[in-house]
Amino acid sequence: MKTQVLIIGGGPSGLLLSQLLYTRGIDSVVLERKTKDYVLGRIRAGVLERGLLDLMREAGVSERMEKEGYLHDGTLISYDDEIFRVDFSEHTGHAVMVYGQTEVTRDLYEAREKANGKIEFNVENVVIHDADSDAPYVTYDVAGEARRVDCDFIAGCDGFHGVSRQAIPLDVRKEYEKIYPFGWLGILSETPPVNHELIYANSSRGFALCSMRNENLSRYYIQCSLSDSPEDWTDDAFWEELKRRIPADQAEKLVTGPSIEKSIAPLRSFVTEPMRWGRLFLCGDAAHIVPPTGAKGLNTAASDVHYLYNGLRDYYENNSSEGIDTYSQKALARVWKAERFSWWFSSLMHRFPDQTDFDYKIQLAELEFLRENKAAQQAMAENYVGLPY
């Protein structure tokens, strides 16, 4: 088999890139190591930046998002029983969309299937060959059958544990990492959200986040120990702890119910450089990870897709390699700004195990400064709705 762009990874970034390329008549093949149902079963964040909204529209997959998503033009931040609002629209003229990553992925699968896009599932033993040459190819197995795809370019959208980053020689790539000393215990429940906007809470007991998927589906998180497991927490214990961490007036309104999903996510900041080696390009989690505070993971992957898609367009439509030659530089410049914001917001909202009284007072002063200072709120709002591409 031969294609123009071989995409490793059938998650939202790989599918979005494939769909965008399709709109310009550029052929692609997507390889996914799991099944479609498995990919759609993964529970992820659901706050979409303005840039990702525009990409969904450009890809022709925004109809359901526009109809069912929730535009949010602000967010609430609390510390102990204090609470204040940061108005995104006032400070930036933009909003974010609450629309689950699973739904983004579902819409993209539907579009690729409608266009008869080539997606291979259950692929195993993926190996990237000759990425630093003009004739790269990828070999893999499906149900014990060996297969090969020759291509012009390879897009590695296969996540942190995928093969793409590992294909770049160790003497070429440099990795940067920060591990946070806590995790997020999250539950999904068929209950109405406690508030129509997200609440980020810093309490003496640790961080909490009140989020939602729709008017009858809520997503809640609390900071927990890395040694915890979901089985350590009953639903009742989770709800009681959440109530202790959010302002009393919000806790009184909280509607509880059985969890339909419960998991713990560790927090990590990670970046690898460069994001291009020869004709191999890394996108999304294959190249970088952010803590979930501020929901930058999918959105940062989307910005990678933007730069790579436009670089490939320029190559095929104008016979220019400038876009692909500058891909890594452009993508990383924005990635590091997203890393900075996620690190700042995580540092502001969580209680750290080794936090001193001095550290707490500084954190409190930062929160109060954000509450009182319009310029600080504008800086936060600009980062939250998404820096321009």
Q: Give the residue numbers annotated as catalytic, written as ranges.
A: 72, 200, 292, 296, 384
CA pair distance 87, 65, nearest whole angstrom: 22
Distance of CA 300 to the CA centre of its chain: 6
Name residue 266's beta-bridge partners. 183
CA pair distance 328, 168, nearest whole angstrom: 13
Name residue 380's beta-bridge partners. none
Going by the DSSP 8-state scheme, the letter that residue 151 receives in this structure is E
DSSP structure string for 207-269:
EEEEEEEETTEEEEEEEE-TT--GGG--HHHHHHHHHHHS-HHHHHHPPP--EEEEEEEEEEE
DSSP structure string for 340-373:
HHHHHHHHHHPPPTT--HHHHHHHHHHHHHHHH-
CA pair distance 339, 290, nearest whole angstrom: 6
